[in-house]
Amino acid sequence: MHNPVLVLPPGRSSADLWSEIVAGDEEQERLPQQPGPGGQAIYRRRKQEKVGKQNAATGKSVVHVARVSLAANGKRVSWNRSLSTRGRTSIAVTACVHHRPEQKHARRKAKPPLPKAKVMHSFEKERSYFQEVDAFELLEESPSPKKSGTWVVGNQTDSFVIPHLSSRLEKWLISKKLNHGCGPSSTLSKILETPAMFSGAKLETPSGSLLQNNSSMCPSLICKNDLERHVHSQLIKLELKDEDLEEAVRKLSLASTCDTSEGDNWNPFTALLAVCGQTAPSNFVDVFSKFCAPSDIIKIGEGTFGEAFKAGNYVCKVVPIDGDLRVNGEVQKRSEELLEEAVLSQTLNRLREGKDDACNACTTFIQTIDLKVCQGTYDVELIRAWEDWDEKNGSENDHPKEFPEKQCYVVFVLEHGGKDLESFVLLNFDEARSLLVQVAAALAVAEAAYEFEHRDLHWGNILLSRNDSRMLNFMLEGKHVNVKTFGLCISIIDFTLSRINTGQDILFLDLSSDPYLFKGPKGDKQSETYRKMKEVTEDYWEGSFPKTNVLWLVYLVDILLLKKSFERSSKDERELRSLKKRLDKYGSTKEAIFDPFFADLLVESAV
């Protein structure tokens, strides 16, 4: 900072001026100070003198005077003011003083950013890469194995979906399309390879000749061999190209829906006739007269898709198929559905003698005595039996007289298994235990032999009767075991929703196509069991999930606890509840059958 410089008027010396200033200061010090408005002096000269060194030029001392503050009081300038003037030239300037703001230091320069590498896209390389990928044909699995089990080759746009009934013709077609060099399959229709059940049946082969069935060759086996020769000859005659192959096979396939009058063209209805040992549909009189007089026919039950009549010592279940008329509000079942149920029923028949698997056998599944396809209206005696039932019990089904003359039916002739669990009266806890152990044993045997799952084992599909037998023998994986029955005989019926692996085909009903099945009332044990099955299978009904059999055992325990009345103690109820909890841990009835609850009911035998 520069010291102030005094400019002297003309005719006066600096010594005179300084003497006047000093005299004025002494006089000011003797006077009292005048207080300001706040009781403080506004101005007060501070007497501070410093004698500096003598001026080299004049030889006199130079006095430095302290600067006078112009601030009205001693308060600090507010921070706002300080912030608002920061970095600028100060506007508070003392007389004869020039204030210079503090110079900002230059910021340190940051390091320059690294230069980004420029990516040069080579579109030619990219194009050649994808062309190479596209040219390489891969077997790509379809996104969802639950919906189809097909494979697609390369850029092929056609999708081939295996039909609901896994036909050997369709499978052969897919393999033919994937491998053009493969020859025809030697097992085009093994689904028809069913047990030799019905003796004396005559079957017309595709060549037109009649063959007599004997004990060593069933009609279905005859049909299989002739069907293969017939299909192969037709394919050779047509000299098919690849683009015509699918259409031709579809006409010959078991899953075809073409009309039955088209000569040699095969369809589910024709296959169903072959399984039943028929060349054409029969009428009701011919079928029922084999077992009883028409006047002795009695209706004993009904279901959504059919009626049950008693004919002598047998029960005839009549199911309408392939018609346009709705049955009790539901669409009629198709031939392919009944074909599966027919084959499944006959397969379970083999467990009675252990034919397919000598390690597993039981007699709990209802025996199918005969199968027939009928056509026409209900017979007069059937109408009479139906109306008698309606008068006594109040039928919930539509009157059968509404069926047209061309309506077709499948008649299952079954052994008489007794009353269903809903109407049967259990006497005591031992009979309840016998019910559970017989059902569990039968399911375990069928699981071991055929990966069987019933999937609809409600109390209307279990028949009960009493006899003099106290023990029942079954064989599970080579072990002969006797079950205590306490005189109770159990029969399992209705395999409409069931799943089975026959060794050549997996037969099942895709329940994902029937969403209403899973929308039953909450809290209803049967509806809850359907929903639990859906969770277990994840809506993939073709797969093997033996846990579903365990779910129906749990359902039966609930029925015994909640819906059935019989003599029992509180200890018996605790045992049932404990069994229910333990069943949740089992993954199959093969495991559940060895639960402690059944321990004293099973007796292993050497024979």
Residues 99/3, Cβ–Cβ less than 8 Å = no
Sign of the four-CA dihedral 510, 515, 518, 520:
negative
Contacts of 533 (CB under 8 A, 6+ apart): 455, 511, 545, 548, 551
Q: Where are the beta strands (DSSP E) in 278-398?
A: 298-303, 306-311, 314-321, 368-375
Q: How far apart are CA 121 and CA 604, in angstroms?
A: 77
Alpha-carbon gap, residue 3 to 130, rounded angstroms:
86
Two structure tokens written together for 556 = 């039966």
Among 239, 240, 279, 275, CA closest to 254:
275
Task: Please state whether beta strands 506-507 and 500-501 pair in parallel, antiparallel, or not at all (unpaired).
Answer: antiparallel
Closest by CA to 486, choosing from 415, 417, 432, 441, is 432
Q: What is the CA radius of gyration of the chain?
A: 51
Name beta bridge partners: 409: 320, 374
Catalytic residue selected from 322, 456, 505, 572: 456
**Considering only CA atoms, which of 601, 599, 340, 592 is closest in space to residue 448?**
592
Query: Tokens representing 484?
Result: 């205590």
CA distance 196 to 224: 13
Q: Would you give the end-to-end CA distance of the chain in angstroms?
A: 127
Contact 481, 440 (CB under 8 A): no
- Which tokens go with 72? 């009205």
Within 10 angstroms of residue 26's Cβ, the number of other Cβ atoms is 9
CA 271 to chain centre: 32
Q: What does the alpha-carbon distance between residue 144 and residue 113 come to, in Å, rounded to a whole number? A: 51
Say which residues have a Cβ less than 8 Å from residue 130's Cβ, sequence separation at least 6. none
Q: Are 378 and 452 in contact (CB under 8 A)?
A: no
CA distance 399 to 380: 13
CA atoms in the 13 A half-sphere facing the CB of 443: 34
Let me know if 456 is a catalytic residue: yes
Instruction: Let me know the angle formed at the C-alpha of 343 by 340 and 349, rounded to the nearest 5 degrees.
Output: 140
Alpha helices in 61-163 (DSSP H): 79-85, 123-135
DSSP string, 100-123: -PPPPPPPPPPPPPPPPPPP---H
Runs of H (alpha helix) within 474-569:
525-537, 547-562
Question: Which residues are known to be catalytic?
Answer: 456
